[in-house]
Amino acid sequence: MLELRSVHKNFGGLQAVHDVSFSVAPGSIKAVIGPNGAGKTTLFNLISGNLNVSSGSILFQGREIQGLKPHTIAALGMARTFQNINLFHGMTALESVMVGRHVRSRAGFLAGMLRTPATRKEEREIREKSMELLRLLEIEEFADVEATSLAFGQQRAVEMARALATEPKLLLLDEPAAGLNIYETAEVGRLITRIRDMGITVLLVEHDMSLVMDISDEIVVLSFGCKIAEDVPAAIQQNPEVIKIYLGEDEEVMV
């Protein structure tokens, strides 16, 4: 599904990402973990096209996507959420999700201005599909509420519904549990598993270890921009390198 080959990213003299390679198998949940400043979000921004790599290549479904614009990559079937929630001001929850249908609908300027029958039909489909997603995320009661005025957890849900509305093959989640309590986090975990079961591959960055260990099929560990481990959760928990960066040396506590 996704393959990173020796990806480097330098900001001036700073090596934010250094020689990172890994791949994400179709239908799996893969997590990227690491201490603050390890380069996780930078890595995400490289994959989604918000940043360009300094060297290396990124393949999505076998196609080189490095250098493409974010909107082109999104149209190829990659959606994302943001660490700091990024909703559209002044739009209701439903409208926000309807925007997500953009790449799966066609009406352009002329069709929109003339309100052709085909456009009206498409609009109805967009609305229905978006409502379905609000129901899936259990926020349909907030459909007509301005999205930015919702509670934090609900805003995250709107963002996720918007990403799902693009019908992605790969979903990038940047800290989906940040700012959520343990019940909401468990809820998000179940949701991500359900998304995977719908056939969508998931790549997430997350700090919450219990969530990551629970749902991930595989985990990549980054530290100071370098990949230091890649394995199944059980093995990552035993990995001395990982324990060292998270807990310091000579500790016998498990992550």
Partner 1 sequence: MRDSKLLKIALLIGLVIGIQALTTVTGTQYYLTQLTMSAYYALLVIGLAVVMGYAGQISLGHAGFFAIGGYLSAALTTHNLVALQANPVIHGLGNLGMLVSGQDIYGEPLLVVAPWAACIIAVCMAAIIALAIGIPVLKLKGHYLAMATLGFSIIIYRIGLATEYFGEADGISEVPGFTLLPAIGSFGPISVSGDFGLRVENYYVAWGLLIIGLWLLLNLIDSRVGRALRAIHGSEEAAEAVGINTAGFKLKVFVLSAVYAAFAGVFLTHYNGGIGPSEASVMKSVRYVALVAVGGMANVWGTLVMGVGLSFLSLRGVFGTYDDAVFGAILIVVMLFAPNGILSMNVKALFAGRRTTDEHR
The HSE-up count of residue 106 (CA atoms within 13 Å, CB side) is 6
Nearer to partner 1, 132 or 214 (CB): 132
Q: Which of 30, 32, 34, 48 binds partner 1 (CB under 8 A)?
A: 48
| 111 lines the binding site for partner 1 (CB under 8 A) | yes
Q: Which of residues 186-245 bind partner 1 (CB under 8 A)?
A: none
**Quick one: CA dihedral 81, 84, 87, 93, positive or negative?**
positive
Minimum Å distance from CB 251 to partner 1?
39
| 123 lines the binding site for partner 1 (CB under 8 A) | yes
Nearer to partner 1, 62 or 108 (CB): 108
DSSP secondary structure string, the chain?
-EEEEEEEEEETTEEEEEEEEEEE-TT-EEEEE-STTSSHHHHHHHHHTSS--SEEEEEETTEE-TT--HHHHHHHTEEE--SS--PPTT-BHHHHHHHHTGGG----HHHHHHT-HHHHHHHHHHHHHHHHHHHHTT-GGGTTSBGGGS-HHHHHHHHHHHHHHT--SEEEEESTTTT--HHHHHHHHHHHHHHHHTT-EEEEE-S-HHHHHHH-SEEEEEETTEEEEEE-HHHHHH-HHHHHHHH-TT-----
| 115 lines the binding site for partner 1 (CB under 8 A) | yes
| 166 lines the binding site for partner 1 (CB under 8 A) | yes
Minimum Å distance from CB 69 to partner 1?
7
Q: Which of 103, 178, 209, 255 binds partner 1 (CB under 8 A)?
A: 103
d(CA 138, CA 81): 18
Minimum Å distance from CB 105 to partner 1?
5
Q: Which of 3, 122, 184, 214 binds partner 1 (CB under 8 A)?
A: 122
Tokens 């700012």 correspond to 179
Nearer to partner 1, 21 or 50 (CB): 50
Stretch that binds partner 1, among 106-114, 201-209, 213-221, 229-237 (CB under 8 A): 106-114
| 99 lines the binding site for partner 1 (CB under 8 A) | yes
Q: Which of 6, 52, 55, 105 binds partner 1 (CB under 8 A)?
A: 105
Binding mask 57-96 for partner 1 (x = CB under 8 A): ------------xxxx-xx---xx-x---xxxxxx---x-
Residues near partner 1 (CB under 8 A) are 48, 50, 69-72, 74-75, 79-80, 82, 86-91, 95, 98-103, 105-109, 111-115, 119, 122-123, 126, 162-163, 165-166
